Amino acid sequence: MERDDLIVNDSYAMAAHHSEEAGAAIRKKIWFVTALLTLITAVEVGMGIIFKRSETFSWTMIKWSFIVLTLVKAAYIVLVFMHLGDERSNLKKTILTPYILFISYLLFIAITEGFGHLEAFSTFH
């Protein structure tokens, strides 16, 4: 039986518009993205295991590092998988600015409400 991916006259083979070198570069980029996202996730999980209410690091610093690492992962996913990294700078700014403002707003609300509940809790006890 002949493999269908080796047939030269096949429509799929005709649709391939890149050379083997370009294909190798694409595969290398995919492996790099996979390794980078896995590394960031492993750091997050490791921090959750090792620094659980640690004496050397404040819990606030650990939470902020989780937030920053998660935002880095999200931004990298958007840049690579949504092909935003290949676009012009103005388009990137136009698309990312509302998201950055929205995430900043959500963080502001979460922090403000968290301190509000903390103050309300301390006045009752």
In the chain, what are the domain boundaries? Answer: 4-124
Confidence at 43, pLDDT banded by 50, 70, 90: very high
What pLDDT score was predicted for residue 54? Answer: 65
Nearest to 26 by CA among 88, 83, 95: 83
User: Distance (Å, rounded) from C-alpha 40 to C-alpha 43?
Assistant: 5
> What is the mean pLDDT of the segment spanning 92-107?
88
User: Distance (Å, rounded) from C-alpha 79 to C-alpha 76?
Assistant: 5
User: Distance (Å, rounded) from C-alpha 41 to C-alpha 70?
Assistant: 8
> What is the mean pLDDT of the segment spanning 22-45?
91
**101: how many CB neighbours lie within 10 A of its CB?**
10
What pLDDT score was predicted for residue 19? Answer: 80
* Range among 36-40, 62-66, 111-115 rated most confident: 36-40
| 7: pLDDT strictly greater than 80 | no
